Chain A
Amino acid sequence: MGFFLETLFGGLMSGMLYALIGLGFVLIFKASGVFNFAQGAMVLVAALSMARFSEWIPRWLGFDNPVLANVLAFIVSAALMVALARAVERLVLRHLVNQEATTLLMATLGISYFLDGAGQIAFGSSVYSINVGMPKDPALVLDKLFEGGLLLNLEDLTAAVIAALLVAALALFFQYTGTGRALRAVADDHQAAQSVGIPLNRIWVVVWSVAGLVALVAGVIWGSKFGVQFTLSTAALRALPVVILGGLTSIPGAILGGLIIGVGEKLSEVYLGPLVGGGIEIWFAYVLALGFLLFRPQGLFGEKIIDRV
């Protein structure tokens, strides 16, 4: 039983990590109707930036304080993500207004490849580490109920809390601010939004910047846990089923979807895996998403997709 609970917690925690990346997908989709395949590459670039700048800035400016280094690196990286957002809007999105969803999807695929290459040329392609002071030692809890206690990964727990706070902030932003409303209008219909005077370009810069910042947070957390390496960009592909489950337009859905996928993956790997040769994690999330797509494509909390005749 203890083992089951540990697996469960582990699944919940890894689910939160997925959800962090999934948030970026949801943000951009919710606000522009574009599915951003490049979210993973953005996480990679953000993480690389954070990792390298936290190394370089102390060296350039000649000081030794790691906290200051991290803070400065974070600020610089955030600025980089905002600049990236502006570049994407100006060079790509502006020219693809009102194109089909598939075209935009493929364009973001192109952006993903570009960022992948450019990021690694700019920052290097070895494995780098991020150290922002996340607790590294696991904790043993509930040792009164279970023998020896349950192993709890504090780093994951911290990540989960950060993710939850981020989600709350974003959900409030979308519901209750004017910009949030404008974003939802744009997601619905680009042309209609334009015709009521919503400045599409600026909205998109805002959205992609916010998604970029979310990517930065995700990048820092993932990088801190796993180290920063190029596989990070494909890790984002693992997050895609999360948003399908939760609903592409639902921020809380990303969390719930993440939790379900995280737990499902871990449990199926541990309990079903040995029956079929292991490695189920590779496709479990996707097949689950496929199931949802067939019976409930809008996911748990997404808006119903109406295909007008």
Chain B
Amino acid sequence: MLYRENGQFKTSYLADQQIFPILQDRVVMALLLAVAFIAVPLLASDYFLRAILIPFLILSLAAVGLNVLVGYCGQISLGTGAFMAVGAYAAWNFGVRIPAMPLLLQIVLGGLCATAVGVVFGIPSLRIRGLYLAVATLAAQFFVDWAFLRIPYFTNYSPSGSVSVPPLEVFGVPLQSSAQRYLFVLAVVAVFTLAAKNLVRGAMGRQWMAIRDMDVAASVIGIRPMYAKLTAFAVSSFIVGVAGVLWGFIHLGAWEPLAFDLARSFQLLFMVIIGGLGSILGSFFGAAFIVLLPVLLSNIPRMFGLPLAVDTASHIEHMVFGALIVFFLIAEPHGLARLWSIAKEKLRIWPFPH
């Protein structure tokens, strides 16, 4: 009744190709953006902004990047943490060695360095796939872990092995308060998500999906598997690298290689699987789920008067993640995003049953 496409006729291909062809979707999206940009910074608490929204947004961006590689192009990667690390450390090094480098430039350069590393470790994908490719990306993860731990140049010979960033500002506006940081992260995430969405719905996205679905047929059409796979690695690593810079600079402030370890890679992969492979929206759902679950697990038992010990909560988290991964892979490989679109389908015919 509310969610009908009735009367919304498209008279041009351009109109038909919009990201949100249905008017109601556009309205909701506009409202959501208005709330996100205007209401939230005014109303939300510091805790909510710093501990929930900012990590959620940054991890969503990383999940979008990973989804491009795993979901759209079908190349498995277990080394995402490493690419985040490259982005963060590269941006930090540029900032430290070239004084007065603007933050946005640091972010872009961090992303580009992550791209370079991503392409190098993506080269094996031209010859191997599946499990074997997963092993190659694990090699990237461990190698990068080691590099930032043991090569003192990367941490500017810091005695503690960790690095930290000075107070940040962009275009003269300081990024001190939670609201300022939140708005900056939101803007960056919004821009890159839009870019990613444009890519996956355009010619490049179709090339990626063709390679994912049947790469022999793809080459017969004239798509070059090498170009498609390496661009997938490149774009994915760039986005993940940018997310890494945001994670280190804005969320953590100071970090060491552990922040981007294998557990982080698995966490991102879980987000993408639970949220929905091959769906930009799904990346956000997955990130929300993974960020919220620990919060729920620590708060809900407390509300019932049965507080959980920290490590028990963490074990339960592991169990829930594991069980959900298996559940989604069996029942709904397209994750929460598919459940969402099924719900929307049902909403279209509501209140009629069919």
Q: Do A and B bind each other?
A: yes
Q: Which residues of A contact B (CB under 8 A)?
A: 35, 91-92, 95-96, 99-103, 105-107, 109-118, 120-121, 125, 234, 237, 240-241, 244, 248, 276-280, 282-283, 286-287, 289-290, 293-294, 297, 309
Q: For the complex, what is the distance from the CA of A116 to the CA of B149, rounded to whole Å? A: 27
Q: Given A120-B315, A241-B135: A280 and B329 within 8 A (CB)?
A: no
What B residues does A294 contact at CB under 8 A? Answer: 124, 127-128
What are 16 A-B contacts defined by CB distance under 8 Å? A92-B330, A100-B130, A101-B131, A105-B134, A113-B319, A113-B321, A113-B325, A125-B311, A125-B315, A277-B150, A277-B152, A278-B150, A283-B142, A283-B143, A287-B143, A289-B139
Q: Is the CB of A286 within 8 A of B266?
A: no
User: A287 CB to closest chain B CB, in angstroms?
Assistant: 5
Q: Is the CB of A293 within 8 A of B150?
A: no
Q: Is the CB of A116 within 8 A of B132?
A: no
- The interface size of chain B toward A, counting residues with CB under 8 Å, comes to 44
Which residues of B in the span 86-144 have a Cβ within 8 Å of any Cβ on A? Answer: 124, 127-128, 130-132, 134-136, 138-139, 142-143
Q: Given A110-B322, A114-B323: A95 and B145 within 8 A (CB)?
A: no
What A residues does B325 contact at CB under 8 A? Answer: 106-107, 109-110, 113
Most A C-beta atoms less than 10 A away, residue of B131, B136, B315, B319: B131
User: B294 CB to closest chain A CB, in angstroms?
Assistant: 13
Q: Given A106-B269, A110-B325: A117 and B139 within 8 A (CB)?
A: no
Nearest residue in A to B315 (C-beta to C-beta)?
Answer: A117
Q: Is the CB of B146 within 8 A of A109?
A: no
User: A217 CB to closest chain B CB, in angstroms?
Assistant: 24
Q: Given A286-B138, A293-B128, A293-B135: A107 and B326 within 8 A (CB)?
A: yes
Question: Is the CB of B224 closer than 8 A to any CB of chain A?
Answer: no
Q: Is the CB of A105 within 8 A of B142?
A: no
What is the predominant secondary structure among interface residues of chain B facing chain A?
A: helix
What is the predominant secondary structure among interface residues of chain A facing chain B?
A: helix
Q: For the complex, what is the distance from the CA of A248 to the CA of B333, rounded to whole Å? A: 27
Task: Pick from A102, A234, A309: contact of B76, CB below 8 A.
Answer: A102
Q: Is the CB of A282 within 8 A of B146?
A: yes
Question: Is the CB of B52 closer than 8 A to any CB of chain A?
Answer: no
What A residues does B179 contact at CB under 8 A? Answer: none
Q: For the complex, what is the distance from the CA of A11 to the CA of B324, rounded to whole Å? A: 39
Kindly list the 4 A-B residue pairs having the minimum CB-CB distance in the complex, ordered from nearest. Answer: A114-B322, A110-B325, A117-B318, A113-B322
Q: Is the CB of A105 within 8 A of B273?
A: no
What B residues does A282 contact at CB under 8 A? Answer: 142-143, 145-146
Question: Is the CB of B299 closer than 8 A to any CB of chain A?
Answer: no
Q: Is the CB of B142 within 8 A of A121?
A: no
User: A237 CB to closest chain B CB, in angstroms?
Assistant: 7
Task: Pick from A35, A118, A280, A286: contact of B131, CB below 8 A.
Answer: A35
User: A271 CB to closest chain B CB, in angstroms?
Assistant: 16
User: A50 CB to closest chain B CB, in angstroms?
Assistant: 19
Q: Is the CB of B321 within 8 A of A96?
A: no
Question: Is the CB of B151 closer than 8 A to any CB of chain A?
Answer: yes
User: B344 CB to closest chain A CB, in angstroms?
Assistant: 26
